[in-house]
Structure 1
Amino acid sequence: MTSYDATDALDDLFGNEEGYPSGAGAAVGTRTEAILDGPAPASSIDAVLRLADGLPSLDHVRAVDDQDTSELTKTELEQKEQTEAVISTALAAGDAAVWVIAQGLERAAKGRWWRRTHTSLGSYVEAKIGRSAVYGRQLRKNAPLALETAHKTGTVPKPSQVKVTSKTEEQYGRDAAVTLYEVVRDVSSVLGAHPTADSLMAVHKSLPRQLPEEPEQQREVIVQTTRRTLGVGIETPAFESDSNESASIEALSFESKSNDDVPGETPGDDGGTSTGTSGTASDVGDEIEDAEIVPEHLVTLKDALRTLNAVNRAVTKDVFAQAAAADDDAAEYEKVRQAIITKTTAIRNKALHAPKI
């Protein structure tokens, strides 16, 4: 894009109005004519599907063996960048469409357009979008915050993300909620990740009870809280003394009988699994043997890897599930879960930014 940037596109998509003008009937008529004069639904769908035309030809993509870990060639890097740009655009279109639906449902609710065809707004919503009335109600409630976030940041948030930032809005105001999303997005990109509902919630819960009223000071507090929570720039030891008072490292060295993890996979933040280098490193780490003469710092890293392997085996999906199922102390469980995410993110960040040989 040139002068027509992402914000312009979002403005065109969402519009700027807060509600109907005094001549509500004329406004509805104007909207109806605009829709009728605009592209047909099939054309709009075709426009999205045409995004695939921007993908590299599948015939031109080189097939790579499962065991190949070589660096990507210049051509592969170009194809990868081209493909990921299309994926990002398609995802953004899908996220934006959700909030267009929310605006439509808000109008149907205000006009009670369902009154002759359905017994309730809920049944109308279910019939129109194939989702529950609760989902539709949540979309309508969070749409104003989502649209402002999109306008100010140039990124369309997902419903699960706005569900979290709406809590920030309730406690600190809309500006803080939008800033929270933008800062978590930017800090996550430094880690090579994307903002998630979990990361947003972790930062939200870490914010102080009150934020400064001055926008710049408010933003600075949110930035520092986000960096600390997500582990960017953290220089404290990965395992602090007070983190292990309730369980010694040695006590975690057994192989849990409930560990159903597939070799090469490690428990994810959401209780699922993720494949990749983390699982491979864990397996390889178990087989590391000390040489007769090893530099002191390398010994420290090897000891840390053994400790992480032991912790990884002990902290299984089943452990998280049973801890979450305990009704007596849900707040303590969530506090511990978030602390684990923070610590592991800090270690990962240190390893990612460590010197490569």
Structure 2
Amino acid sequence: DRVCASFDLYRLDHFRGFEAYWRVPAGAKASEGRWVKGPGEKLLQRILEITLYDKLLIPLAEDLGDITPEVHALRRSLGIAGYKTFIFGWGEGEESGKASGYRYPEDYTEDFLATTGTHDTPTMSQWWQEMRDDEKRELLRYLTLSDDAAFQEIRKAVFEKLFNSRALFIVLPFQDILGLGPEERINLPGTFGEHNWSWRMPLTVEALSSNVNEAYAVACRFLKELSYSSGRTAYSTESEKTEIISTLPSRGMIQSKKVGEDFKVWAAVSGNPERVIMASDLCGEDGVDMSLEDNLADGVSLYYGKISAKHTGTYSLKVHVDGDGEGITIDDCLTVMPE
């Protein structure tokens, strides 16, 4: 409960291992190992049950590197966002990153978190400094900047690309928000020493909240404007229209339960509905009313409901408000397994 009260997102490291992992016998060489199927959906469904469906603590899959189609399929079936790290797509020549899908934010899809880098990568400033001249020219052409563009222009242009992508989440390392150099890197994989995992924020909490640091204040203003201009933060989401904005599970997700257990459903709703209703072959003709859990900002409310897993099979779910039978339909999202 304390974790859920303090955080909105959490990261599932080495997500690839949930689908399959490299097992090495004790005392053997790493090359003598073999791929073994991981715990997969069974364990992940339990993790989602106690975090996402119970507490709305949202998981993220660390799926960077050489990822198989099976791993992507597992992640997508559970509605877990993966990672898109921009700097992975650049820095090794003109062909770098194209196959991996990191290079162009225009190609990022909704089921991803987009970021400039991670704790294991160089800061953007270091990354730019270490790029070859031909690599820099290629990046500048993509960003439609002149060859003599300053790093601050490049940094802002990359932020704009990420914010205007379709990625569901944007996360920016503090080092990149301020344009800090290589000395501010968090970790250098494969090395040991005091330089790893010892980084501390250069500003106090009081300084952050009061904007006394000019560089930070300028960065905050830019990111706020970018949030609005990209549509990630609406000037006002208040609407007289009463409708379902989103649901959990959402399209493409699968929630699995055994006979006798309960499916847990969430819905974000705008306006002032008299009823918010879940409809499924598991619910009966009249459906099941959802209860109001919380009033969020700008006229949006959060509703919650349960559906009993009565019979084995796969079922669709529809969530709608009174007077609007259309709502949102999520096909084949509820799977009931034998006890």
TM-score using structure 2 length:
0.27
User: What TM-score, normalized by structure 1, do the two folds share?
Assistant: 0.26
Larger fraction in helix: 1
Q: Which has the higher strand share?
A: 2
